[in-house]
């Protein structure tokens, strides 16, 4: 199967953010996206941003235009959120984002009335109906399709770092799961989801797609749901491993880290250097550790099996790649990763709120609603972290 990779300017940025709609009093999800989307989609038709629906009627997705910088893409997202609020505030609907809702139940949710979604649910059944998950997608432009899989394979080594920074799903249907990112393990139950296959060039990807289409697994490349995937239509590498970020500043920071890593690896290829790779079994273990322990995980960082605390390895990465961030003009957003390391990711803040409120999960939802409006809440009580095993 011949598959073209669209032209894209190098290291440009595109963002997608899935957002929950909730009742302001109860905090429960409300399936009211269909009544809002016609007007919102029409209003965004001539803007850089877009506002669209998703699998469930309790969700709205906002996307940026192609940003020459992280800041430009984030500005698009901010404009989209403002447009959504112009509709949701008068309608008495609140907004929040996390990898999962703390207590909502799957059987109370409605599937959006589109053929592609009904087809997905028909095929995947219980697992599909349980896809009460929210995430972010970060697209980074790559100017040459020959770079795509070397970069994807190298970037896979940083998936646990990104997953830990974004982890925001410690609860599932009212249960404290013991995982920082329960979403990471739920999402991989869908066909073609999970870690990418270790392909090494574009022709192998074309062969993979040919096999998948010929055997009825998928209709086209858009149904590849890997944690990192090529997006041929846009000419980008798309990172899909992250939970829904609870705040816009944190979304900007994770986007900057992805952009800097892709540019760093692209520069190494320009120098004729080989990019680092690890065995698939290390990536699998890393994904589980990051899902379980978040920023307290110890992760495998090279093919020799060296293990490091993810916080320490991230801090070293920030120092090493700060010059790349400066070149890309995303130094401020990139430094925000350090703020997440210092203050804690969303999962830790949610656990702290629940502990302070005697396990009351409506308080966690109200906390997420406040954060979505105003940014990360500080002063997380001590004792909310989880410990890791090596």
- Is residue 6 one of the residues assigned to a domain? no
pLDDT above 70 (res 79): yes
- Is residue 62 one of the residues assigned to a domain? yes
Rounded CA-CA distance 22/95 in Å is 6
Write out the residue range of the structural domain in which residue 194 sits.
13-374
Q: In the prediction, which pLDDT does 389 show?
A: 43
For residue 218, give Cα distances in angstroms to 190, 209, 325, 360: 12, 8, 37, 42
Q: What percent of the chain has pLDDT over 90?
A: 94
CB 182 within 8 A of CB 174: no
Report the CATH number that the domain containing residue 238 is assigned in CATH. Answer: 3.30.590.20
- Is residue 223 one of the residues assigned to a domain? yes
Rounded CA-CA distance 385/349 in Å is 9
Give the confidence band of 377 by pLDDT, cuts at 50, 70, 90. Answer: confident
Q: In the prediction, which pLDDT does 103 show?
A: 98
Question: Residue range 157-163: average pLDDT?
Answer: 98
- Is residue 5 one of the residues assigned to a domain? no
- Mean of the per-residue pLDDT values for the chain? 95
* Residues paired with 193 in a beta bridge: 225
pLDDT above 90 (res 384): no
pLDDT above 50 (res 385): no
pLDDT above 90 (res 383): no
For residue 84, give Cα distances in angstroms to 181, 243, 273, 375: 27, 21, 45, 17
Give the confidence band of 1 by pLDDT, cuts at 50, 70, 90. Answer: confident
Residue given tokens 């609603």 in the structure block: 369
Q: In the prediction, which pLDDT does 376 show?
A: 84
Distance of alpha carbon 290 from its chain centroid, rounded? Answer: 14
Q: In the prediction, which pLDDT does 146 show?
A: 97
- Is residue 4 one of the residues assigned to a domain? no
Q: In the prediction, which pLDDT does 306 show?
A: 98
The answer to pTM > 0.85 is yes
Residue 90 burial (CB < 10 Å; 0-12/13-18/19+)? exposed
Number of domains in the chain: 1
Nearest one of 137, 161, 153, 115 to 234, comparing CA atoms? 137
pLDDT above 60 (res 381): no
Rounded CA-CA distance 175/178 in Å is 9
pLDDT above 60 (res 264): yes
Q: In the prediction, which pLDDT does 378 show?
A: 61
Residue-wise pLDDT for 132-144, tens only, equals: 999 999 999 999 9
Q: What percent of the chain has pLDDT over 70?
A: 97
- Is residue 93 one of the residues assigned to a domain? yes
- Is residue 127 one of the residues assigned to a domain? yes
Residue-wise pLDDT for 305-343, tens only, equals: 999 999 999 999 999 999 999 999 999 999 999 999 999
Question: Residue range 5-23: average pLDDT?
Answer: 98
Residue-wise pLDDT for 284-311, tens only, equals: 999 999 999 999 999 999 999 999 999 9
pLDDT above 60 (res 388): no
Decide the pairing of beta strands 175-176 and 193-194: unpaired
Nearest one of 5, 15, 2, 3 to 238, comparing CA atoms? 15
- Is residue 192 one of the residues assigned to a domain? yes
């Amino acid at each position: 199967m011949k598959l073209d990779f669209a032209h894209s300017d190098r290291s440009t940025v595109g963002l997608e953010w899935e957002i929950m709609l909730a009742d302001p009093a109860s905090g429960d999800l409300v399936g009211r996206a269909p009544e809002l989307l016609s007007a919102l989609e029409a209003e965004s038709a001539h803007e850089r941003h877009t506002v669209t629906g998703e699998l469930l009627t309790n969700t709205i997705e906002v996307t940026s235009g192609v940003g020459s910088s992280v800041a430009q893409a984030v500005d698009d997202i901010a404009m989209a959120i403002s447009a959504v609020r112009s509709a949701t505030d008068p309608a008495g609907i609140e907004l929040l984002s996390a990898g999962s809702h703390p207590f909502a139940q799957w059987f109370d949710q409605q599937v959006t009335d589109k053929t592609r979604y009904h087809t997905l649910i028909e095929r995947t059944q219980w697992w599909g109906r349980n896809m009460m998950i929210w995430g972010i997608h970060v697209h980074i432009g790559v100017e040459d399709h020959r770079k795509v899989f070397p970069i994807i394979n190298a970037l896979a080594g940083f998936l646990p770092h990104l997953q830990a920074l974004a982890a925001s799903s410690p609860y599932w249907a009212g249960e404290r799961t013991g995982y920082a990112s329960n979403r990471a393990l739920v999402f991989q139950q869908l066909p073609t989801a999970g870690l990418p296959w270790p392909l090494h060039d574009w022709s192998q990807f074309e062969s993979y797609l040919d096999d998948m289409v010929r055997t009825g697994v998928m209709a086209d490349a858009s149904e590849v749901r890997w944690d990192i995937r090529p997006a041929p239509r846009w000419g980008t590498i798309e990172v899909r491993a992250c939970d829904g970020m609870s705040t816009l500043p944190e979304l900007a920071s994770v986007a900057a880290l992805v952009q800097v890593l892709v540019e760093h690896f692209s520069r190494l290829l320009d120098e004729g250097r080989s990019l680092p790779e690890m065995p698939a079994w290390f990536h699998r273990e890393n994904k589980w550790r990051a899902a379980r322990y978040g920023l307290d995980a110890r992760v495998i960082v090279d093919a020799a099996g060296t293990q490091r605390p993810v916080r320490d390895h991230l801090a070293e990465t920030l120092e090493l790649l700060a010059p790349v961030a400066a070149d890309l003009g995303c130094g401020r957003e990139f430094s925000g990763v350090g703020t997440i390391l210092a203050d804690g990711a969303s999962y830790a803040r949610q656990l702290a709120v629940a502990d302070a409120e005697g396990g009351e999960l409506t308080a966690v939802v109200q906390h997420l609603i406040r954060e979505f409006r105003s940014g990360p809440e500080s002063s997380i009580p001590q004792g909310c972290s989880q410990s890791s095993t090596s």
